[in-house]
Amino acid sequence: MYNSRFAGLGYYVPENVVTNDDLSKVMDTSDEWIQERTGIKERRHVIKGEETTMTMGVKAAEQAIERSGLDKDEIDFIVFATLSPDYYFPGPGVMVQKELGLKRTVGALDVRNQCSGFVYAVSVADQYIKTGMYKNILVIGSETHSPGLDFTTRGRGVSVIFGDGAGAAVLTREEDNSKGILSTHLHSEGEHAEELALIAPGMGRHWVTDIIKNNDPEETSYWPYMNGQFVFKNAVVRFSEVIMEGLKTNELSPADIDMLIPHQANLRISQFIQGKFKLSDDQVHNNIMKYGNTTAASIPIALTEAWELGKVKEGDLVVLAAFGSGFTWGSVIIRW
C-alpha cells in the first residue's frame, strides 16, 4: 500500500466583493448581526455569465497542477465536489477534463457531500492512490451559491452566510508511509437530511413540472433551508469527535496538531473547536471573514491560503475537518 500526499494546491475566488452593508441594502440585516453571529465581513459572488462552478474549478486546478510540478497529462483521475453544479447532469468533473485538456478518457467522479465534499473527495482519491490504481489525482471543491440564494429578508438566515469560490489539490503517490495522508474518517447521519437541504427541483415530491405549472411565489422548496441552531449544535459535537477519532487512530493527541483547517461554516464553530483543543491562533487557519462559507471549496481555499502564508510546512501535522448537510462529516490527518 502507498500513501498519498498533497503535491500542489490552488484556489480562485470571483473578484466581485459583497459586503455585509451591501446585503443590508436588500434585506433586513446588519453588519453587526452578521459579524457577531458568524464572523463574516464579506464574501464573493460571481457575475452572471462570467464565472461558474466549473470555470472557477478549472482556474483553481490550473494553479494546483502547475504547483505540483506535474504535466497535466500525468493526471490519472478527477474528483469534483460541489452542491452547485453548472448542469443538473452531467457533473462538472467531465467538463473540467475537457476544459483543462486532460487525457481524453481519464475518469471523472462527482462527489455530492456538501460542506464535507472536499474531505470525502480527498478520502476517495486517497483510497485509489493507496491501492495503486491511480498515481496523480486532481481533487476540486467549487461552489456557486449566490444565484440560488433568497436575498430577501425571508432568506436572511441562510443567504448572508454563503459565498462563491473554488479550491483544488493534486494528490500524488508517496512511497514513504510516514508521510502524506495518514488516515481519513467519514460519517453521515441521514436522519437529519432535511435540517439543511435544498429540496427542489428534485425527482421526489417536488417535480420541476409542478413547480413551473403552479408558479407559486410562496413556494420555498427551491431555496436552501437550514435549521441554524440545530446544525450549529451538531457541528460542534461532530467536528470534535471526528478530529479526535483521526488523532487517536494515529496515536496522536490535540497537542500534536500544527495546523487545523476547519471547514469555514461559522467562525464561532471554529473558535469553539480551537478552545476545546487548546490551540493557539497560529494553529488554526480561518478565512470565513473574507469569503463566507464556500461549502466544498472552503477547506481547499483555506489550506492553499495557509500554505501560501508559510503556515503549513514539511513535517507539520495538518488536520482537515468538515461538517455539513446530510448530515455528513469527516476528517483528514496529514503529515505534511
Residues that bind ligand ACO (CB under 6 A): 29, 33-34, 37-38, 114-115, 156-157, 160-161, 196, 228-229, 231-232, 235, 265-266, 269, 293, 295, 324-325
Counting beta carbons within 10 angstroms of the beta carbon of residue 275, is it exposed (0 to 12), middle (13 to 18) or buried (19 or more)?
Answer: exposed
18 three-state secondary structure: strand
70 vs 235 by CB, closer to ligand ACO: 235
293 is annotated as an active-site residue: yes
- How far is it, in rounded angstroms, from Cα 283 to Cα 82? 27
Question: What is 274-308 written as a DSSP string?
Answer: HHHTT--GGGB---HHHH-B-GGGHHHHHHHHHHH
214 three-state secondary structure: helix
157 vs 254 by CB, closer to ligand ACO: 157
263 is annotated as an active-site residue: yes
- How far is it, in rounded angstroms, from Cα 96 to Cα 270? 32
Q: Supply the minimum distance, in Å, between the C-beta of residue 234 and ligand ACO.
A: 8
Q: Supply the minimum distance, in Å, between the C-beta of residue 288 and ligand ACO.
A: 10
Q: Supply the minimum distance, in Å, between the C-beta of residue 29 and ligand ACO.
A: 3
35 vs 249 by CB, closer to ligand ACO: 35
Q: Supply the minimum distance, in Å, between the C-beta of residue 229 and ligand ACO.
A: 4
62 vs 195 by CB, closer to ligand ACO: 195
3 vs 53 by CB, closer to ligand ACO: 53
Which cell numbers hold the place of 52?
461558474
Q: Which of 113, 115, 285, 286 is catalytic?
A: 115
185 three-state secondary structure: strand
Q: Supply the minimum distance, in Å, between the C-beta of residue 328 and ligand ACO.
A: 8
81 vs 137 by CB, closer to ligand ACO: 81
- How far is it, in rounded angstroms, from Cα 321 to Cα 258? 14
Closest by CA to 5, choosing from 113, 122, 85, 102, is 122
∠ CA 55-61-64, rounded to 5°: 155
Residue 225: its H or E element: strand 225-226
161 vs 321 by CB, closer to ligand ACO: 161
16 is annotated as an active-site residue: no
Q: Which residue is nearest to ligand ACO (CB)?
A: 324
Which cell numbers hold the place of 49?
455569465
Identify residue 309 by its one-letter amino acid code: L
- How far is it, in rounded angstroms, from Cα 318 to Cα 310? 13
Q: Which of 263, 266, 285, 287 is catalytic?
A: 263
Compute the residue count for the chain.
Answer: 336
Q: Supply the minimum distance, in Å, between the C-beta of residue 110 and ligand ACO.
A: 16
Q: Supply the minimum distance, in Å, between the C-beta of residue 276 and ligand ACO.
A: 16
188 three-state secondary structure: strand
∠ CA 138-292-81, rounded to 5°: 25
The catalytic residues are 115, 263, 293
